[in-house]
Amino acid sequence: MRISAHDWVEGGITPDDAVEIARAFKAAGADLIDCSSGQVSKRQQPVYGRMYQTPFSDRIRNEAGIATIAVGAIEWPKQYRSAKLQLERNLERERQMAAQGAGLSPLEQANRALGA
């Protein structure tokens, strides 16, 4: 279940509320909370920064006792960037091989890669 763990609006959803919301979803059978924030009001005043939403995920996981996913400005650390590039190359190669195995022309492969 994806929730907005903070709507960044005075009087709105707070991280305290998000923990309670996550507990309710867990009690209803959810097994994972995808923690986002904002994008629910034009009055929002988010505090952006590197990994700015991960504290919501951490708090919900620890206080509500449910698995979480964190999103928002999560960047690849410098020491892992080469691995990221290699992963992207490997995934592209797998897509090409799957397309060739399916007998697709290069144009059809490109369209499939673009989701067309």
Q: In whole angstroms, what is the distance from residue 16 CA to residue 7 CA?
A: 12
- Which residue intervals of 11-80 are DSSP H helices? 15-27, 54-64
| Contacts within 8 Å (CB) and 24+ apart, 9-13 | 9/40, 9/41, 9/43, 9/44, 9/45, 10/43, 12/40, 12/41, 13/40
How confident is the prediction along the chain (116 residues), in pLDDT tens digits per residue?
999 999 999 999 999 999 999 999 999 999 999 999 998 899 999 888 888 899 999 999 999 999 999 988 888 778 888 888 898 898 888 888 887 777 777 777 777 777 65
